[in-house]
Amino acid sequence: MHLLVTRLGWHYMACRLIIAAITGLWEYLLNLYVNFRVAGKHV
């Protein structure tokens, strides 16, 4: 977020929304492929 605001000059609230979306997607994918994986079945 710091790089988006200082280097690119974007508004901090837009950066927060972008970072929140990226983090949410990352957490969802980690949960999908790590926590909820069925034993013996690869996705």
Can you read off the two tokens belonging to residue 23? 């983090």
pLDDT(32) > 80: yes
Q: Which residue's entry shows tokens 């034993």?
A: 39
Task: Report pLDDT digits (tens) over 6-23.
Answer: 999 999 999 999 999 999
With respect to residue 8, please indicate whether it lies within any of the assigned structural domains: yes
With respect to residue 43, please indicate whether it lies within any of the assigned structural domains: no
Question: How many structural domains compose the chain?
Answer: 1
pLDDT(36) > 80: no
Q: Domain containing 7: what range? A: 2-35
With respect to residue 41, please indicate whether it lies within any of the assigned structural domains: no
Per-residue buried b or exposed e for 4-33, using 16+ beta carbons within 10 Å of the residue's own CB? beeeeeeeeeebeeeeeeeeeeeeeeeeee
Give the single-character DSSP code of 36: T
pLDDT band at residue 40 using 50, 70 and 90 as cut-offs: low
With respect to residue 14, please indicate whether it lies within any of the assigned structural domains: yes
